[in-house]
Structure 1
């Protein structure tokens, strides 16, 4: 039973240490005689209200956006209070706040849609040991194919936990510390931990052909269409999320890196996106964004999405960004509708579980070795690689859905879409970085997600002019490689 909490500031790791006893029902501050007293580092795990949304009428969209952002802020504040030693009252107060916010969202939705009363049962939160794998069931490699981690690729296998440290590195290190390239501690509040990194050279090949390769074989649409949009040299950053929380500043509570459409922020509607300039060389006005990667150098920029939301470190500019659309193993693809929105991966996968996790980490020269729940430690001269292979089946009707997932899905390994869905070009975002040697980098995250690599995710809004989308589809279906 939870009886107290204190902050463990381990090299800036900032994990909450929760005291527990083996005696059920013991509510006193001290364990009963003969019972052990243990310390477990924990984070906060709350039901994901946004994932459970099924219908949000236009009249309720802004209220729901504000509600989702408020829920994230409440968890953020509760997490830090728990770190400061506020004890078990943190979860009681958090539940009260969530009940009020969720109730407001439910009322707004119910004015023009069926009342989602089931959301009211999602106010309670729990603690989660930080040394557990993502989700209560831990890592499940069978999820990778079901959710299209790499279309038509062998499943990446879970890594042996005995391999979770680079041999000869990080030995005797306290969890929560990060070693810099000179052996000094480099901290980032809330993680990552040394166990989140693995030497890529110790990983067995598990992915066959790199995940950005086009499908091959009889009947496959084997062409590709690549759009060049730069590396965000202009410094387009914000902590908004125009897909999940439109109309709300700092709706993501972490910083996003953008290429493509120059107008993208929380307030960019379809009309604004269609009128915007773009960084893409072919006139593609689409929006591409993902959480920034930070160098863990202690740089605490005091603004939303950065240090104010527990994201500390200097933002790394990608070395390369490649945006490729590829075909289907089963046959031809059809055009995406303009303003189609797709999210791949899950920013809360550490507490939600890996059902929707779809981020991939590797190193240049080692891309037949793909990681889902580890950051790669790359050899000198090799770059860190992030890859997002997006959903490639569309329901043929909707450009978005209430939870931003139901309108798109993945094909099976043979390229077949589920009933009611049709194949569309599959976007693959591939981003590389030059990072310092060692456990020196982490992706931005919600603070309670502890900067775990499994929480990485990519976002896309298709704003290609119709003639450019037609060109892309023709190239893919005819087996050409076009730009």
Structure 2
């Protein structure tokens, strides 16, 4: 498994550790879903194969508390170092998951293997990093949560429970290991997909998902899109569309400069980038303005990036032996969007203020498989169904003639002061079901992104899905649909941010 390359001081201790409402917006035959409510309502040869099995009772993944989400008050002076330590925690989980996935035979022979050889050492390594985080925060006069040490233990999560939240206690660890023997069959293959040392039953080319239950025929799903919020007389009804392409030049990396600045492969999965062409882990506010852009409007230097989607039909791509790619369970042929539509819309309850320069927003949660769905904001659908059905926890199987669609509806409220926050969430918020921002927040143009794909139609037969597709993600997240997420950094020239706000407030549709 590849390790993070950190271009900052690396302490010796770490050197050895390497739903919402929908609005159909017409125009050109394109249906846009618009969401105003909360984020969610309602190296190893084992990476191979081309079928996805149904889950069984074995330990499917490792669930660790998401430390970063608990750190809401990190002083600015300590954020760089803390972000680096959080990236090390992610690396530790990735390495532990790889060990879980490649030791199925040992787990079958020893009922305490997961607890003693994977979870116990992982807890000890996490404790070292948590101690460093506390030191870095207190050194600059900050305070850390009193229960930070409670976030060190991780659990081994059975396949049928892998959508529950993380953070169970030591007894939970034992429970995870008690089900650690692969389906009670000694790790032997049942004729389905099997990894290099006997892993089976978790699904996907990489043995880490998706599984048949992660797919649903969209024609069988009841309509679930609520009515849009009512606009009042002060509503900002305009829109601004920016055209930035579909990443035809293959601008990819596995970094995430928002959550892991200065850390190579901080995302552990591959992103498509449109807009700013020089965004990687080592970019900064000082260099963003020199990045160039793929957008037609050359004043739009913003960065729009999202995890790629791959089809798991036995084909491979350029990164099959790379960090963030095949080394970490992200396998299969990368699908380029047919369309990548980017639009800013207004608020149903009032005017919007311009986005501040360098505002960073992450929508959705890449770790919902272990965090739970509180911050999930995934929307999967098919053309012809977007204003009727939006899925969060399953991938749609679209009928013939229909194409798969991912829609991202970003937070539309800003605290009026900060362009980022310690956990990259609390400086922005979603409007409520009526379109109102929380107290103290201001409405900003809501970024809407719509990605359309030509996906080979999956088929589920006898608990097996063929031609599975899945979003890239952290390996322990099992490629669940709910882990879909999107990232944005607002970077503009020539007064574009004000022009976008003025266009929306005046009720015009601009490009």
TM interval, short-chain normalised: 0.7 to 0.9
Map of 1:43-62 to 2, 5 A cutoff? 43-62=61-80
Structure 2 residue aligned with 1:456: 484
**Which of 149, 158, 182 is residue 129 of structure 1 equivalent to?**
158
Q: Aligned-pair distance for 1:54?
A: 1.9
Map of 1:48-447 to 2, 5 A cutoff? 48-83=66-101, 84=103, 85=107, 86-89=113-116, 90-116=118-144, 117-132=146-161, 134-136=163-165, 187-207=205-225, 216-283=231-298, 284-298=300-314, 299=316, 301-367=320-386, 368-438=388-458, 439-447=467-475
More deviation, 283-292/67-76: 67-76
Change in CA separation of 1:174 and 1:370 when aligned onto 2, cut-off 3 Å: farther
- Give, in whole Å, the separation in 2 of the partners of 1:452 and 1:176: 20
Native 8 Å contact 2:240 2:500 kept in 1: yes
- Give, in whole Å, the separation in 1 of the partners of 2:114 and 2:49: 19
TM-score by length of 1: 0.80
Secondary structure of 1:451 counterpart: coil
Structure 1: gaps of 5 or more residues: 1-6, 18-38, 138-171, 178-184
- Give, in whole Å, the separation in 2 of the partners of 1:314 and 1:243: 26
Secondary structure of 1:366 counterpart: coil
- Give, in whole Å, the separation in 2 of the partners of 1:333 and 1:227: 18
Higher relative contact order (CA 8 A, sep 6+): 2
More deviation, 340-349/309-318: 309-318
Native 8 Å contact 2:238 2:505 kept in 1: yes
Change in CA separation of 1:186 and 1:347 when aligned onto 2, cut-off 3 Å: closer
Native 8 Å contact 1:334 1:473 kept in 2: yes
Structure 2: gaps of 5 or more residues: 1-45, 108-112, 167-189, 196-202, 459-466
Q: Aligned-pair distance for 1:322?
A: 0.6
- Give, in whole Å, the separation in 2 of the partners of 1:437 and 1:101: 44
Change in CA separation of 1:108 and 1:136 when aligned onto 2, cut-off 3 Å: closer
- Give, in whole Å, the separation in 2 of the partners of 1:409 and 1:264: 24
TM-score by length of 2: 0.76
Native 8 Å contact 2:310 2:331 kept in 1: yes
Native 8 Å contact 1:290 1:457 kept in 2: yes
Native 8 Å contact 2:52 2:204 kept in 1: no
Secondary structure of 2:259 counterpart: coil
Native 8 Å contact 1:12 1:189 kept in 2: no
Secondary structure of 1:131 counterpart: helix
Map of 1:462-481 to 2, 5 A cutoff? 462-465=490-493, 467-481=495-509
Secondary structure of 1:359 counterpart: coil
Native 8 Å contact 2:63 2:156 kept in 1: yes
Secondary structure of 1:87 counterpart: helix
- Give, in whole Å, the separation in 2 of the partners of 1:426 and 1:296: 33
Q: Aligned-pair distance for 1:64?
A: 1.7
- Give, in whole Å, the separation in 2 of the partners of 1:351 and 1:87: 17
- Give, in whole Å, the separation in 2 of the partners of 1:220 and 1:281: 28
Change in CA separation of 1:467 and 1:176 when aligned onto 2, cut-off 3 Å: farther
- Give, in whole Å, the separation in 2 of the partners of 1:67 and 1:336: 30
Native 8 Å contact 2:51 2:468 kept in 1: no
Aligned CA-pair RMSD: 2.6
Q: Aligned-pair distance for 1:87?
A: 2.6
